[in-house]
Amino acid sequence: MYTALLDEAHHAIEKTLPERSDDYRLAYHLAPPAGWMNDPNGLVHFRGEYHVFYQHHPYSPQWGPMYWGHAKSTDLVHWEHLPIALAPGDPYDRDGCFSGSAVVVEDTLYLIYTGHIWLGDSGNEEQGIRQVQCLASSNDGINFTKHGAVIEAAPHPDIVHFRDPKVWQRDGQWWMALGARLGDDPQLLLYRSQDLYHWDYLGCALTGQRETDGYMWECPDVFTLQGREVFLYSPQGLEPIGYEHWNRFQNGYRLGRLDETGGFTPATDFHEIDHGHDFYAAQTLLAPDGRRLLWAWLDMWNSPMPSQAHQWCGALSLPRELFLEGDQLRMRPARELTALRQSGQALTIGSLEAQSQVLDIRGALLELEFGLELTGSTAERFGLALRCSEDRGEQTLVYFDAMARRLVLDRQHSGAGVEGIRSVPVAPAQTRIALRIFLDRSSIEIFVDDGAYSLSSRIYPHPDSLGISAFAVNGRGIFKEGYAWQLADLKL
């Protein structure tokens, strides 16, 4: 029966592929062949290859009962789609194989995930849900055998939301972090095991309050980086404040200390890890060379998703390398991504005095590296207009706002359905902003000052909107020399 469920899902994708439109199809970001994608799951290095699993609904480009999609790569650039790894349908995961993680024991790959069950008939949470933690394994990294639920109930009878297990090894034992919700307060729960099958509850490592911490911490990830421990998570229910928390849900981190008894003592407040419109459910893996790599869902709940009309929806961010600078978690594009570069040319703009200048660079698949010189610049704002149509009706703006002292991403005119402005601060003493920008057919990822900040968003311009202009408003803007590369179309 289980094999039949997987076969039916594969046939659904094959049937849909001829109907798929690729106007917004990403060239070098991992996206589903067809159907729906959300959270990255089970990031792991197995037998010399990187494996990325993801939440997937193969039957439509809308969210539905969750399967685990699957892809692998040897170089973090070229990805091969593999057969769907997990399908719901057993009593413990009847209505969804929700998010989780992956580990390797000797020569076996294990997936740990949340089995989701609706207790009512309509898929309405108010009628009740049940969530358990499940285990599956594979000897070849492609075909998986389910082993059922290994944690069959939350530790408190009033906990209903109890999901997204992240498993890692510490001092010869397996540890599991889970996000939970007790009433309207979020919790980080910890378990420990010797064999992945039998788990002991250590306790609530950290709890929050609805007013300040949201009501649920999804997709927890706990790891050590440069000798410090990081709690990475996705809180639901935070209210916007100032420039922060304007997305439907957030994604961020706290630094702290995890003790042997399972308590996490935070040393910092919550900080958003990305400041764009579309970045959620980030997860990490430890690469063989010691780097901590991160992927996130490059979309956001309740956001415009025009590609749904094209029979696919959702993508993952570029892989990023994490490092700490003081108490700040920074992200750089994975170094392997330079392999995407094709033809390149110097980006020489110089000084602009209250004007706009069309550049001789065009394209949907670009990497741009340049700087904005603040010393000597007098413009109220200056920067680049990207993915411009001939009449400038479509454009995505990246600029320095001198009055607000912020670096701004403006997608008010970025194409079908999207809008909104996001920004990050620029320190008063800062004299230059270093920018590295990746453009794909329906995405932009901006890395600021060697990863001090990033802004990741989906955009949906017309395929012919390919122009780039530099601009300065009411004063002089000075651009440092840089470089632009056309990037490979890998048709992932």
- The answer on 387 and 355 residing in a single domain is yes
pLDDT reported for residue 1: 61
Q: Is 419 within the bounds of a domain?
A: yes
Task: Name the DSSP class of 391.
Answer: T
- Please tell me whether residue 351 adopts helix, strand or coil conformation: strand
Last residue of a domain, one of 287, 316, 333: 333
The pairing of beta strand 159-170 with beta strand 395-401 = unpaired
Give the contacts of 465 (CB within 8 A, at least 6 positions apart): 387, 388, 389, 394, 395, 415
Residue whose C-alpha is closest to residue 425's, from 279, 242, 253, 231: 242
Instruction: Please give the residue range of the domain that contains residue 43.
Output: 2-333
| Cβ–Cβ < 8 Å for 144, 111 | yes
Q: How many CB atoms lie within 10 A of CB 419?
A: 11
- The answer on 208 and 235 residing in a single domain is yes
User: Residue 385 and residue 396: Cα distance in Å, rounded?
Assistant: 6
For residue 39, indicate whether it is catalytic: yes
| Cβ–Cβ < 8 Å for 65, 71 | no
Q: DSSP characters for 295-308? A: EEESS-TTS--GGG
Q: DSSP characters for 161-224? A: EEEEEEEEEETTEEEEEEEEEETTEEEEEEEEESSSSSEEEEEEEEE--HHHH-SEEEEEEEEE
- Number of domains making up the chain: 2
Task: Name the DSSP class of 74.
Answer: S
- Is the torsion defined by CA of 471, 476, 481, 482 positive or negative? negative
- The answer on 343 and 325 residing in a single domain is no
In one-letter notation, the amino acid at residue 309 is: A
- The answer on 305 and 230 residing in a single domain is yes
Q: How many CB atoms lie within 10 A of CB 142?
A: 13
- The answer on 453 and 352 residing in a single domain is yes
In one-letter notation, the amino acid at residue 378 is: T
- The answer on 221 and 116 residing in a single domain is yes
Q: Is 376 within the bounds of a domain?
A: yes
- Is the torsion defined by CA of 174, 175, 181, 182 positive or negative? positive
User: Residue 411 and residue 428: Cα distance in Å, rounded?
Assistant: 26
Q: Is 375 within the bounds of a domain?
A: yes
Strand partners, 369: 436, 483
User: Residue 142 and residue 84: Cα distance in Å, rounded?
Assistant: 8
User: Residue 53 and residue 97: Cα distance in Å, rounded?
Assistant: 12
Q: Is 492 within the bounds of a domain?
A: no
Last residue of a domain, one of 333, 367, 390: 333
For residue 38, CA distances in Å to 98, 175, 300, 372 come to: 10, 25, 9, 35
- The answer on 223 and 152 residing in a single domain is yes
Letter string b/e over residues 155-176, b meaning 16 or more CB atoms within 10 A of that residue's CB: beeebbbbbbbbbbeeeeebbb
Query: What is the residue whose two structure tokens read 């000597």?
Result: 376
- The answer on 321 and 222 residing in a single domain is yes
- The answer on 346 and 319 residing in a single domain is no
- Catalytic residue of the set 39, 93, 95, 213: 39
Q: Is 394 within the bounds of a domain?
A: yes
Question: Mean pLDDT in runs of 10 for the chain (492 residues)?
Answer: 87 96 97 98 98 98 98 98 97 97 97 95 72 98 98 95 97 97 97 98 96 96 98 97 96 97 96 98 98 98 96 98 98 98 96 95 98 98 98 97 98 97 97 98 98 98 98 98 97 85
For residue 275, CA distances in Å to 126, 245, 348, 450 come to: 32, 9, 28, 15
| Cβ–Cβ < 8 Å for 253, 246 | no
User: Residue 421 and residue 398: Cα distance in Å, rounded?
Assistant: 10
- The answer on 478 and 388 residing in a single domain is yes
Q: Is 213 within the bounds of a domain?
A: yes
User: Residue 19 and residue 29: Cα distance in Å, rounded?
Assistant: 21
In one-letter notation, the amino acid at residue 236 is: Q
pLDDT reported for residue 122: 57
Q: Is 241 within the bounds of a domain?
A: yes
User: Residue 250 and residue 237: Cα distance in Å, rounded?
Assistant: 9
- Please tell me whether residue 278 adopts helix, strand or coil conformation: coil
- The answer on 310 and 417 residing in a single domain is no
Q: Is 328 within the bounds of a domain?
A: yes
Q: Give me the CATH number covering residue 166.
A: 2.115.10.20
φ, ψ for residue 24, nearest 5 deg: -105, 5
- The answer on 62 and 189 residing in a single domain is yes
Tokens of residue 192, six digits = 């420990």
- Is the torsion defined by CA of 272, 276, 279, 283 positive or negative? negative
pLDDT reported for residue 418: 97
For residue 399, CA distances in Å to 264, 286, 433, 434 come to: 39, 34, 10, 12
Last residue of a domain, one of 333, 365, 384: 333
Q: Give me the CATH number covering residue 456.
A: 2.60.120.560
pLDDT reported for residue 326: 96
φ, ψ for residue 310, nearest 5 deg: -105, 10
Note the pTM of the prediction, 2 decimals. Answer: 0.97
